[in-house]
Structure 1
Amino acid sequence: MAFSGSVFFDYGIPRFRVRRTEKGYCVCHLLQFYTTGGDPATHFAGQGPFLATTVFEGLVDYGVDLSLLPSAAKSWTIAPDWSYVDFDIKEGIKFHNGDPLTAEDVKFSLDLCMVKKYKHILGADYRRQIKEIQVTGTHTVRFYLKQPAPDLWKRLWWSGPIMPKKYREKVGDKVFADKPIGSGPFKWVDYKQDQFFKMEALKKHHRKTPEFKTLKFVYVPEHSTRLAMAKAGEADIAELIGPHIPVIKADPNIKILQTKHTIGTSLAFFDLAHPDQPSPFKDIRVRKAVSLAIDRKGICERIFFGNRSPWGEPLAPYNLGYDPTVKPDPYNPEKAKALLAEAGYPKGFETSVNGARGSKYFWEPIAANLADVGITAKIKIYEGGAWFGAHKGKKLRGMKVRNSWYDVEIHPGADLQNGYTSDNMWTYTKLPEVHKAIVDSMSATSDKDAAAWGRKISKLIRKDYKRPMLWSTHYSYGLNPTIVKWEPIKGSYPGGRYEYIKVKN
Structure 2
Amino acid sequence: MKPSLKTFLAGAAFALALTTSALAARTDLTLGVALEPPHLDPTAGAAAAIDEIVYANIFEGLTRIGPDGSVRPALAESWTLSDDGLTYTFRLHDGVKFHDGTTLDAGDVVFSLDRARADDSTNAQKGLFAAIDEVEAVDDLTVRVTLKQPSGAFLWNMGWGDAVIVAPESAETNKERPVGTGPFMFDGWAKGSAVTIVKNPDYWGDPVALDKATFRFIADPAAATAALLAGDVHAFPNFPAPEAIPQFAADPRFEVVIGSTEGETILATNNGKPPFDDLKVRQAIAHAIDRQAIIDGAMFGLGTPIGSHFAPHHPAYVELVETYPYDPERAKQLLAEAGYPDGFEATLKLPPPSYARRGGEIVAAQLREIGIDLEIIPVEWAQWLDQVFKAKDYDLTIVSHTEPNDIGIYAREDYYFDYHNKAFGEVMAELDATADTDARYALMRKAQEIIAQDAVNGFLFQLAKHGIWDARVEGLWANAPVQANDLTEVRWKE
TM-score range, shorter chain: 0.7 to 0.9
Residue 436 (1) aligns with residue 440 (2)? no
Which of 37, 40, 43 is the aligned partner of 1:41? 43
1:203 CA displacement: 4.0
Match of 2:463 in 1: 473
Partner SS, residue 276 of structure 2: helix
Matched, 1:451 2:448: no
Q: Partners in 2 of 1:116 and 1:221 — Cα distance?
A: 36
Greater mean alpha carbon deviation, residues 376-385 or residues 258-267: 258-267
Aligned counterparts of 1:147 and 1:402: Cα–Cα separation in 2: 33
1:81 paired with 2:80, answer no
Are residue 498 (structure 1) and residue 494 (structure 2) matched?
A: no
- Is 1:420 the counterpart of 2:420 in the alignment? no
In the TM superposition, residue 342 of structure 1 has moved relative to its aligned partner by 3.6
1:186-335 alignment, distance < 5 Å: 186-193=184-191, 195-203=193-201, 205-238=203-236, 239-241=238-240, 242-270=242-270, 272-274=271-273, 279-324=274-319, 327=322, 329-335=324-330
- In structure 1, what is the Cα distance between the partners aligned to 2:143 and 2:131? 16
Cα distance, 1:493 vs. partner? 4.0
CA distance in 1, matches of 2:278, 2:269: 11
- Structure 1 residues 344 and 421: CA distance shift in structure 2, 3 A: closer
Give ranges in structure 1 of 5+ residues lacking alignment.
6-19, 410-414
Please provide the CA RMSD for this pair.
Answer: 2.8
Question: Is 1:121–1:425's contact at 8 Å kept on the other side of the alignment?
Answer: no
Name the amino acid aligned to 2:142: T
Structure 2: give runs of 5+ residues left out of the alignment.
1-18
1:66, distance to aligned residue in structure 2 (A): 2.1
- Counterpart CA distance in 2 for 1:316 and 1:392 is 22
Tell me which residue corresponds to 2:10. none
Q: Does 1:139 align with 2:128?
A: no
Q: Distance in 2 between matches of 1:235 and 1:208?
A: 26
Q: Does the residue aligned with 1:319 lie in a helix, a strand or coil?
A: coil
3-state secondary structure, aligned to 1:500: coil
Deviation at residue 151 of structure 1 after TM alignment: 2.6
Q: 1:207 to 1:387 in 2, by over 3 A?
A: same
Identify if the C-alpha distance between structure 1 residues 319 and 75 changes in structure 2 by more than 3 Å, giving closer, same or farther.
Answer: same
Could you report, residue by residue, the CA deviation over 1:299-349 in whole angstroms, capped at 9, with x for unpaired residues?
Answer: 212321232121124332343532247546432223322333343333222
Give the CA deviation at 1:139.
0.2
The secondary structure found in structure 2 opposite 1:367 is: helix
Would the alpha carbon gap of residues 402 and 116 (structure 1) be closer, same or farther in structure 2, given more than 3 Å must change? Answer: farther
Does the CA contact (< 8 Å) of 1:391 and 1:428 recur in 2?
A: no
Shift of 1:446: 0.7
CA contact (8 A) 1:32 1:219 kept: yes
Tell me which amino acid in the other structure corresponds to 2:111: F
Secondary structure of the residue aligned to 2:366 is helix
Q: Answer yes or no: is the 8 Å Cα contact 1:260–1:473 preserved in 2.
A: yes
Separation (CA, whole Å) in 2 of partners of 1:408 and 1:388:
19
Aligned to 2:339: 344
> Which residue of 150, 161, 169 maps to 2:164?
161
Please name the residue that 1:55 is paired with. Answer: 58
The offset of 1:466, in angstroms, is: 2.1
Say if 2:361 is the partner of 1:364. Answer: yes
| CA distance in 1 between partners of 2:440 and 2:493 (Å) | 44
Letter in 1 for 2:210: F
- 8 Å Cα contact 1:313/1:326 also seen in 2: yes
1:114-129 → structure 2 map (5 Å cutoff): 114-115=117-118, 119-126=122-129, 128-129=130-131
- Give the conservation status (yes or no) of the 8 Å contact 2:189–2:196: yes
Cα 1:408/1:243, change in 2 over 3 Å: same
Q: Is the 8 A contact 2:95 2:204 kept in 1?
A: no
Q: Distance in 2 between matches of 1:366 and 1:173?
A: 41
Quote the Cα distance in structure 1 between the aligned partners of 2:26 and 2:399.
Answer: 40
The 10-residue stretch of structure 1 (258-267 or 54-63) with the greater mean CA deviation from structure 2: 258-267
Task: Quote the Cα distance in structure 1 between the aligned partners of 2:37 and 2:115.
Answer: 17
> TM-score, normalising length from structure 2?
0.85
For residues 265 and 311 of structure 1, the distance between their equivalents in structure 2, rounded to whole angstroms, comes to 9
CA contact (8 A) 1:188 1:200 kept: yes
Q: Please, which of 105, 114, 125 is the counterpart of residue 102 of structure 1?
A: 105
Cα distance in 1 between the residues matched to 2:198 and 2:125? 27
- Give the CA deviation at 1:294: 1.6
What's the offset of the Cα at 1:364? 0.4
Partner Cα separation in structure 1 for residue 243 and residue 56 of structure 2: 30
CA drift of 1:125 comes to 3.2
Aligned counterparts of 1:398 and 1:110: Cα–Cα separation in 2: 35
Determine what percentage of the aligned residue pairs are the same residue.
Answer: 24
What amino acid is aligned across from residue 240 of structure 1 in structure 2?
F
Structure 2 residue aligned with 1:8: none
1:113 match: secondary structure = helix
The one of 10, 26, 31 equivalent to 1:28 is: 31
Supply the AA of the counterpart residue of 2:459.
M
Distance 1:224 1:115, change over 3 A: farther
CA distance in 1 between counterparts of 2:210 and 2:136 reads 38
**Conserved in 2, the CA contact under 8 Å of 1:53 and 1:158?**
no
- Matched-pair contact (CA < 8 Å) for 2:65–2:482: no
SS at the partner of 1:273?
Answer: coil
Question: Where does residue 14 of structure 1 map in the other structure?
Answer: none
Q: 1:179 to 1:333 in 2, by over 3 A?
A: closer
Query: Equivalent residues in 2 for 1:366-385 (5 A)?
Result: 366-385=363-382
TM-score where L is the length of structure 1: 0.84
Residues matched between the structures, number: 467
Secondary structure of the 1:280 match is coil
Distance change >3 Å, CA 369–CA 214, structure 1 → 2? same
Rounded to whole Å, the distance in 2 between the matches of 1:469 and 1:281 is: 15
Quickly say closer, same or farther: Cα 1:34–1:143, change in 2 above 3 A: farther
